[in-house]
Amino acid sequence: MSNEPSPTRQTPAFLTVTAIALVFVVALARGLGSVEEPDTWWHIRVGEYLLDTRRLVWPDPWAPFTDKPYVATQWLPEAIAAQLYRWFGLGGVLWLRAVAVVALTLVVYAACRRFGGRLAAALGAGVAIVGASASLNPRPQLVSFVLFAVVVGAWIDTARDRRARWWLVPLFWLWACSHGLWMFGVLVGVVTTVGLLPEAVRAGELRPFLRRFAALHLACVLALLVTPLGPRLILAPFTVAANAAGIAEEWAPTPVNNAFSFITMTAIVGIATCWLLRPRRRPMWMYLWLALSAGLTLYMWRLVPLGVILVAPLLTDALQELVTGARERVSRPERRALVGATVAALLIAAGVCATPHGRTAFGYPDRMGAISAALDQTPAGSVVMPDFGVSGWLIYAHPELAPAADLRMESYSPIYFQRYLDAGNAQPGWQDFVRDVRARYALVERTSALADALVREARWQLVATSPQFVLLRAPAAGS
């Protein structure tokens, strides 16, 4: 990793400008694209409750079958999104997503720029955005992706000068108030510190190096403990994982035939091949980063964005060796152009989100008007047996009703939640679960096993339909 520009000829300006512009266009298109994310709905509802009550822990107001108070571990982005929703409707939420995706692009490009010229950095950032694109949905995890990229850039700078970036301490506090992937930011720091040990030994600075960075890591962890939620925040991600692993695809091991993981693993293999074919002395932390990127990518589907963000600077470094043009210095005009492009992108996004697209971009669940109208006529407090995916929308659109379970999996005991899942698949005992929760309505997929069982075996009646879902009502007592 060299800090000096290459002495070879310059890459044509039109090529670098086109590449950078294309990356930002792709990012903006993704930020304004259709939303098929079921979690967005309940995050909006939780955010509104936060704004109304100013509380982070409360008895669950929507789901009567939870076994613990609800803890709003992602309260900061939820509250911000809910406020924008109140001001601008769903268009405000879509604009916030566009802001996050454009910010991620800018931060990743800046990290890549530390390793290569404008063209190589644009290519590296482009791979990162495309590889992460399946997860760039309007959810608090977008904050994690942006802050993870900031942490990656900070440790690249630390690898160069072995200085502790103390501003990471408040950043981790902010991260802890936003989303639970902060632990991987801590992991990157620890891995980088280990990778820098040989250089510290050669420089005769091992003891001060260890003291300095042990203090930094300890301070970052302590920052996690002093958020408004206190120490309980540390265990929150593991509570979610206990129920999520059995149903949510994003918590499962990454399928290698998935297009986005394939992009990331192709980049990782390409870097390793380049390093083998063009051997030179590289710092140990770069090898550790490559291994960590592969581990994150393969371990869990929801970690693929972190893997591709982490590998993007290494990819830029490998690409720079293949680019014939010089590695340009980061100039003031380049910084101004990037700021201008970012501002322009956000203004364009605001204009688009102010149109009907701001509302129609949210395509899941689709065309629920008839079902929603029927639910409006349902007595408050009625228990609804919902399809897992649509349960977040049910909390958002009809908070006066009582779902048997919902997407906030950490709120339920593992035993109860497994019973709900089994009932949703019409497994033996499903009738007992429906009876135990006293469900009077079911909002399930048209072709689901439970819909068929309710109609054929229990004689439930059809109330309303949408292209994907049906609303069913239990027969009257005694019928």
Going residue by residue through the chain (479 aa), what tens digit of pLDDT does each one get? 544 444 456 777 778 889 999 999 999 999 999 999 999 999 999 999 999 999 999 999 999 999 889 999 999 999 999 999 999 999 999 999 999 999 999 999 999 999 999 999 999 999 999 999 999 999 999 999 999 999 999 999 999 999 999 999 999 999 999 999 999 999 999 999 999 999 999 999 999 999 999 999 999 999 999 999 999 888 777 766 655 656 667 777 888 778 899 999 999 999 999 999 988 889 999 999 999 999 999 998 899 999 999 999 999 999 998 876 667 888 888 899 999 999 999 999 999 999 999 999 999 999 999 999 999 999 999 999 999 999 999 999 999 999 999 999 888 998 999 999 999 999 999 999 999 999 999 999 999 999 999 999 999 999 999 999 999 999 987 55
For 26-52, give one letter per residue: b (16+ CB within 10 A) or e.
Answer: bbbebbbbebebbbbbbbbbbbbbbee
Structural domain contains residue 55: yes
3-class SS of residue 323: coil
Both 344 and 431 in a single domain? Answer: no
Going across the sheet that includes 441-445, the strands are: 402-403, 383-386, 441-445, 469-473, 461-465
365 upstream amide cis, omega within 30 of 0: yes
Cα separations (Å) of 461 from 222, 272, 389, 442, 472? 55, 60, 22, 10, 5
> Is the residue at 39 inside a domain?
yes
Beta strands in 125-214, from DSSP E residues, in sequence order: none
Of the candidates 321, 352, 383, which is a domain's last residue? 352
In a shared domain, residues 389 and 308: no
**Residue 315 resides in a domain:** yes
Residues 6+ apart with CB under 8 A from 77: 43, 140, 142, 143, 178, 179
How many domains does one find in the chain? 2
What distance in Å separates the CA atoms of residue 395 and residue 130, rounded to the nearest whole number?
Answer: 32
SS3 471: strand
Note down the domain range covering 208: 13-352
Whether residues 227 and 329 share a domain: the answer is yes
Taking only the tens place, the pLDDT of each residue in 388-434 is 999 999 999 999 999 999 999 888 998 999 999 999 999 999 999 99
The encoded tokens of residue 86 equal: 């109140």
Q: Show which of 352, 386, 418 is a domain's final residue.
A: 352
437 Cβ neighbours under 8 A, 6+ residues apart: 65, 383, 385, 404
Amino acid identity, position 293: S
Residue 21 tokens, joined: 């512009």
DSSP letters for 257-318: TSHHHHHHHHHHHHHHHHHHHS-----HHHHHHHHHHHHHHHH-GGGHHHHHHHHHHHHHHH
Instruction: Specify whether 61 is located in the same domain as 172.
Output: yes
What is the model's pTM? 0.93
Residue 240 lies in a domain: yes
- Which residue in the block uniquely carries the two structure tokens 């990778």? 195
Tell me the backbone φ, ψ of residue 470, rounded to 5 degrees. -130, 145
The domain boundary residue, chosen from 327, 352, 377: 352
In the chain, the N- to C-terminal Cα span, in Å, equals: 77
Is the domain of 188 the same as that of 235? yes
| 300 lies in the same domain as 412 | no
Question: Does residue 109 sit in the same domain as residue 138?
Answer: yes
* Tokens standing for residue 170: 């408040």
Assigned domain for 289 exists: yes
E-state strands within 73-175? none
Same domain? For 336 and 375 the reply is: no
Distance (Å) of CA 337 to CA 29, 142, 328? 20, 25, 15
CB distance 215 to 164 below 8 Å? yes
User: In the predicted model, what is the mean pLDDT of the chain?
Assistant: 92
- Token output for 335: 């910084």
Q: Which residues pair with 470 in a beta bridge?
A: 444, 465
Compute the CA torsion angle 110, 115, 121, 125 (nearest 10 deg): -60
Which SS3 state, helix, strand or coil, does residue 405 take? coil
For residues 115 and 233, membership in a common domain is answered with yes
Distances (CA, A) of 282 to 18, 47, 111, 196, 198: 31, 46, 18, 11, 12
In this structure, the answer to whether residues 116 and 227 fall within a common structural domain is yes
Residue 5 placed within a domain: no
Is position 360 within any domain?
no
As given in the structure block, the two tokens for residue 26 are 């792709």
Q: Are residues 447 and 316 in the same domain?
A: no
Residue recorded with tokens 């490559």? 290
Q: Hey, is 136 helix, strand or coil?
A: coil
What is the residue type of 160?
Answer: R
Handedness of CA 452, 456, 460, 463 (dihedral sign): positive
Query: What sign does the CA torsion over 150, 153, 155, 161 have?
Result: negative
Structural domain includes residue 421: yes
Tokens of 272: 């390793």
* Residue 351 backbone dihedrals phi, psi, to 5 degrees: -65, -45
Number of Cβ within 10 Å of residue 366's Cβ equals 11
Whether 290 and 397 share a structural domain: no
Angle formed at CA 134 by CA 385 and CA 173, multiple of 5 degrees: 85
